[in-house]
């Protein structure tokens, strides 16, 4: 996300403004909002739109080719990957309603823009290269973790029952909670003299259980670590010492303890497996990190580190930011005093040694991950190519399309006047409804309504929803506020008409449209931001389509319609 925004910001100055209008609005005021619109629109296009998936590597025999653009194939796997990115899900069931032919055309458009970006040398853009390097590092670290941590951790048959027995053991506790050490000491003295714990809890305790004198039942994993430690050596009936937890003081009585019931293990097995795996991975990760540190060439300038102040003023901070001396070095990677000062600035309460150790830990992991050259493996190589394609498509958009967008105050007002209806408030509908449990009952009520029975009276008598007591009155709603299945029914009704019976969830409903209000058109000043976004989007789409049309005119494109149709049919099943 940060990378995406930095690229957009870098192209801001390329947008050509229009002239000022008679309203006194300056060009600067028009352009002041363009960055937010660019970011908003590009995020939509970059994430929600069609992601180009050019494959420069070899195509396997199993990959079905859907189209070829200037010798570069678009495969079925490319399209499926793009759909997964667009739909943000693993399954493609929601893609069944899409036109695969149209989607393939979008992929072709993307590929043409990406190839043009390459022809223009955008692969050499420092921001693109930096983003690719960061992506390779990130994915390499993920693979290293998988190889050295995840795959080397296993859950034995004894791990889950063992964790369950220990952490799901049930403790019945009496708890007295007070606000001062003196009060807690006074209560402890009374308990030593034989006073009843429950009586004192009811009299003094501010804990929710104390007023009723009721014991609290907790498992070991659900209780405070302080309480768990305090009762660890107690036998039933014994009392803890006075405990201070935050600003409260506690005395705890162990009433009883029971083993975790075997029959309930199956209900929490999956949850326990996740917890145990996480614990084992943490232990393995700590061991592996120590191993990497032992093998690494690490140098620390302790004298310079101690000289860097975290509580420095602006002037001293500025001096440190220019300091190029090395505070630490890991396998040739240097951390300067200025860089360390910048890293440490947000962590004034944290020890400098801990901050530096975090940097060293990260560097030894990064070096090990990169040294394994995971990026040469076919699967990661393909992912890198796909990611680079996304960056190039965005770079092309920023450097070629956006600089040609021209928005002036006059163009905004012209757009508003031409599309006034687009900036109207939503149409509102006033409805009454009757909801019942069965289709037969609903049909009988509909027959009564058609015979002239008053809708409101019938709703008060028969409807089981919250609107029933109000005569079925729901009030004024926009179309988006109606449940999905109801929208088409409401849209088809005229004022005064009654709907047929329809099902909503497990109930049956009838509605009557009482009235309809057309939304008022917002004044230009009120909807200016929305007009700006719409105007920007229109210009962007027009310019992109023109560029793509020019590129298509020069390209050699072949679409394999049978393969596309076959994929479309399979996705719809």
Q: The CATH number of the domain where 33 resides is what? A: 1.10.4030
Distance (Å) of CA 450 to CA 432, 434, 491, 494: 15, 14, 20, 15
Lowest mean pLDDT among 33-42, 119-128, 407-416, 564-573: 33-42
Do 438 and 391 fall within a single domain? no
Angle at 118 between CA 112 and CA 123, to 5 degrees: 135
Q: Is residue 156 part of a domain?
A: no
Q: DSSP letters of 280-315?
A: HHHHHHHHHHHHHHHHS-EEE-HHHHHH--SS--HH
Task: Classify residue 12 by its DSSP letter.
Answer: G
| The pLDDT value given to residue 135 | 97
Residue the block writes with tokens 């991950």: 369
Q: Do residues 376 and 352 make contact, with C-beta atoms less than 8 angstroms apart?
A: no
Residues ≥6 apart with Cβ < 8 Å to 148: 284, 288
Backbone angles phi, psi at 286, to 5 degrees: -65, -40
**What is the extent of the structural domain holding 553?**
1-130+378-424+520-573
For residues 392 and 528, state if they share a domain.
yes
Q: At 194, is the pLDDT very low, low, confident or very high (cuts 50, 70, 90)?
A: very high
Does residue 210 share a domain with residue 329?
A: no
Q: Which of 477, 499, 517 is the last residue of a domain?
A: 517
509-559: pLDDT as tens digits: 999 999 999 888 999 999 999 999 999 999 999 999 999 999 999 999 999
Is residue 459 located within the same domain as residue 342?
no
Round to whole Å and give the CA distance between 564 and 67. 9
More confident residue, 56 or 460: 460
Average pLDDT for 130-144: 97
Whether 315 shows a pLDDT value over 50: the answer reads yes
In a domain, 229, yes or no: yes
pLDDT digits (tens, 9 = 90+) for 418-435: 999 899 988 999 999 999
Q: 308 and 254 share a domain?
A: no
Query: 19-33, 289-303, 494-508: lowest mean pLDDT where?
Result: 19-33
What mean pLDDT is reported for the chain?
Answer: 85
Distance of CA 432 to the CA centre of its chain: 38
Q: Do 495 and 434 belong together in one domain?
A: yes
β 326-330/333-336 pair status: antiparallel
Query: So what's the pLDDT on residue 368?
Result: 97
Partnered with residue 508 across adjacent β-strands are 436, 503
532 and 420, same domain (yes or no): yes
In this structure, the answer to whether residues 419 and 444 fall within a common structural domain is no
Could you tell me the pTM of the whole model?
0.69
pLDDT of residue 518: 87
Q: What is the spatial distance between Cα 240 and Cα 254, in angstroms, rounded to a whole number?
A: 8
pLDDT tens for each residue of 359-387? 999 999 999 999 999 999 999 999 999 89
Q: Specify the range with the lowest mean pLDDT, choosing from 218-222, 282-286, 439-443.
A: 218-222
Mean pLDDT of 150-176: 94
pLDDT for 25 equals 40
- Looking at the domain assignment, is residue 288 inside a domain? no
Quick one: pLDDT at residue 334? 96
pLDDT at 56 over 70: no
Residue 42 pLDDT > 90, yes or no? Answer: no
In the structure, what pLDDT confidence band is assigned to residue 31 with cuts at 50, 70 and 90? very low
Range of 98-112, 141-155, 223-237 with top mean pLDDT = 141-155
Task: Assess whether 305 and 174 both reside in one domain.
Answer: no
Task: Find the range with the poorest average confidence among 107-121, 302-316, 371-385, 399-413.
Answer: 302-316
Which residues are CB-contacts of 436 (< 8 A; sequence separation ≥ 6)?
442, 445, 462, 463, 464, 507, 508, 509
Tell me the pLDDT band of 333, cut-offs 50, 70 and 90.
very high
pLDDT confidence bin for 164, thresholds 50/70/90: very high
Is the pLDDT score of 571 beyond 80?
no
Q: What is the pLDDT of residue 311?
A: 67
Name the domain boundary from 517, 541, 561: 517
Query: For residue 18, what pLDDT band results from cuts at 50, 70 and 90?
Result: very low
The 10s digit of each residue's pLDDT in 57-109 is: 455 545 689 999 999 999 988 888 787 766 544 444 444 456 788 889 999 99
- Is residue 480 over pLDDT 80? yes
Closest CA to 495 of 465, 518, 469: 518
Give the integer Cα–Cα distance in Å for 286 and 303.
28
Q: Which range has the worst mean pLDDT, 81-90, 124-133, 209-218?
A: 81-90
Would you state the pLDDT for residue 313? 59
What CATH number did the domain enclosing 487 receive?
3.10.50.40
**Confidence check: pLDDT of 33 > 90:** no
With vertex at residue 568, the alpha carbon angle to CA 566 and CA 571, rounded to the nearest 5 degrees, is: 110
End of a domain among 211, 236, 259? 259
279 occurs within a structural domain? no
The pLDDT value recorded for residue 320 is: 81
Percent of the chain with pLDDT over 70: 84
pLDDT value of position 568:
82
User: Whose CA is closest to 88, among 48, 54, 51, 52?
Assistant: 48
Q: Is the pLDDT of residue 291 over 90?
A: yes
417 with 463, same domain: the answer is: no
Of 356 and 52, the one with more pLDDT: 356
Percent of the chain with pLDDT over 90: 69
| 153 in any annotated domain | no
Q: pLDDT by residue (tens digit) across 247-269?
A: 999 999 999 999 999 999 999 99
- The answer to whether residue 234 scores a pLDDT higher than 90 is yes
In a domain, 361, yes or no: yes
Between 482 and 149, where is the model more confident? 149
Residue 58 is predicted with a pLDDT of 52
Q: What is the pLDDT of residue 553?
A: 96
Tell me, yes or no, whether 436 and 512 share the same domain.
yes
3-state secondary structure 242-276: CEEECCEEEEEEEEEEECCCHHHHHHHHHHHHHHH
Task: Out of 316-325, 403-412, 511-520, pick the least confident.
Answer: 316-325
The total of structural domains in the chain comes to 4
Q: Using N-to-C axis directions, what is the helix angle for 181-192 and 197-204, rounded to 10°? A: 160
Between helix 378-396 and helix 100-119 the angle, nearest 10°, is 80
- Angle of CA points 376, 382, 387, to nearest 5°: 110
The average pLDDT across 38-48 equals 42
Same domain, 186 and 307: no
289 assigned to some structural domain? no
Please, which pLDDT band fits residue 9 given cuts at 50, 70 and 90? Answer: very low
pLDDT of 86: 65
Q: How confident is the model at residue 21 (pLDDT cuts 50, 70, 90)?
A: very low
Residue 88 domain-assigned? yes
């Amino acid at each position: 996300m940060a990378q995406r925004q930095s690229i957009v910001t870098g192209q801001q100055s390329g947008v050509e403004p229009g002239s000022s209008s008679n309203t006194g609005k300056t060009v600067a005021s028009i352009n002041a909002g363009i960055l937010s619109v660019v970011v908003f629109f590009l995020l939509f296009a970059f994430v929600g739109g069609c992601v180009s998936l050019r494959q420069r590597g070899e195509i396997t025999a199993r990959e079905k080719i859907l189209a070829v653009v200037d010798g570069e194939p678009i495969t079925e796997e490319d399209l499926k990957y793009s759909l997964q990115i667009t739909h943000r899900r693993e399954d493609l069931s929601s893609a069944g309603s899409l036109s695969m032919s149209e989607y393939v055309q979008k992929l072709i458009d993307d590929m043409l823009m990406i190839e043009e970006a390459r022809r223009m040398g955008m692969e050499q853009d420092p921001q693109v290269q930096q983003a690719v390097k960061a992506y390779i590092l990130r994915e390499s670290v993920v693979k290293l973790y998988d190889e050295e941590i995840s795959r080397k951790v296993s859950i034995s048959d004894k791990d889950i029952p063992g964790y369950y027995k220990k952490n799901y053991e049930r403790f019945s506790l009496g708890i007295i909670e007070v606000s001062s050490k003196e009060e807690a000491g006074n209560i402890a003295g009374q308990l030593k003299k034989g006073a009843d714990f429950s009586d004192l809890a009811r009299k003094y305790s501010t804990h929710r259980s104390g007023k009723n004198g009721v014991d609290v039942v907790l498992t070991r994993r659900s209780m405070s670590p302080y309480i768990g430690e305090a009762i660890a050596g107690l036998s039933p009936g014994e009392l803890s010492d006075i405990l201070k937890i935050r600003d409260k003081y506690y005395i705890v009585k162990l009433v009883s303890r029971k083993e975790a019931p075997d029959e309930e293990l199956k209900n929490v097995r999956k949850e326990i497996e996740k917890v145990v795996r996480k614990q084992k991975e943490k232990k393995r990760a700590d061991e592996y990190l120590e191993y990497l540190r032992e093998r690494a060439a690490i140098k620390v300038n302790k004298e310079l580190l101690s000289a860097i102040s975290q509580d420095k003023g602006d002037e001293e901070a500025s001096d440190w930011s220019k300091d190029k001396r090395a505070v630490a070095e890991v396998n040739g990677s240097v951390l300067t005093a200025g860089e360390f000062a910048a890293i440490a600035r947000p962590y004034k309460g944290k020890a400098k040694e801990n901050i530096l150790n975090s940097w060293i830990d990260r560097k030894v992991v990064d070096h090990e991950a990169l040294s394994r050259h995971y990026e040469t493996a076919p699967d990661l190589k393909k992912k890198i190519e796909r990611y680079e394609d996304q960056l190039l498509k965005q770079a092309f958009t920023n450097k070629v399309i956006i600089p040609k967008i021209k928005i002036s105050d006059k163009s905004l007002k012209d757009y508003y006047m031409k599309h006034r209806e687009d900036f109207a408030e939503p149409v509102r509908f006033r409805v009454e409804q009757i909801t019942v449990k069965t289709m037969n009952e609903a049909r009988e009520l509909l027959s009564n309504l058609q015979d002239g029975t008053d809708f409101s009276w019938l709703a008060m008598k028969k409807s089981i929803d919250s609107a029933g007591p109000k005569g079925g009155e729901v009030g004024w709603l926009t179309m988006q506020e109606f449940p999905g299945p109801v929208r088409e029914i409401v849209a088809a009704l005229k004022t005064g008409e009654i709907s047929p019976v329809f099902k909503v969830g497990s109930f049956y409903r009838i509605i009557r449209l009482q009235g309809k209000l057309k939304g008022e058109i917002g004044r230009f000043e009120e909807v200016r931001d929305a007009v700006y976004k719409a105007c920007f989007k229109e210009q962007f789409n027009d310019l992109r389509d023109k560029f793509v049309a020019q590129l298509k005119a020069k390209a050699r494109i072949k679409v394999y319609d049978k393969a596309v149709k076959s994929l479309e049919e399979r996705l719809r099943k």
